Amino acid sequence: TIDLIVEEDKNNLIISVKDYACGMPEKVKNKLFKEMITTKGKNGTGLGLSIVKTILETHGYKYGVNSSKGNGTMFYFEINRKSN
């Protein structure tokens, strides 16, 4: 099961994607957004989350990941909905 969660918090829109798998070890979590890091061996390029990080930072969005063993993983990003 994968959940897509959209929440509003004051002037922010928070978008999360959550799974209910086994979670990830801390050493993997600490390297997730770095370029050329992959858990897929020869089948991965290690660019996916690095590119996502660059896009989110370029637009000033906050982002992160919460994961703990046995409780799954949740990626999130927060969009500031500035009023014009």
pLDDT digits (tens, 9 = 90+) for 51-63: 888 998 998 899 9
Whole-number pLDDT of residue 19: 95
pLDDT band at 40 (very low <50, low <70, confident <90, very high): confident
Average pLDDT of the segment spanning 4-11:
92
How far apart are the C-alpha atoms of 63 and 1, rounded to whole Å? 22
At 41 the three-state DSSP class reads helix
pLDDT band at 64 (very low <50, low <70, confident <90, very high): very high
| Whether the Cβ atoms of residue 4 and residue 68 lie closer than 8 Å to each other | no
What does the pLDDT look like over 16-32, one tens digit per residue?
999 999 998 888 888 88
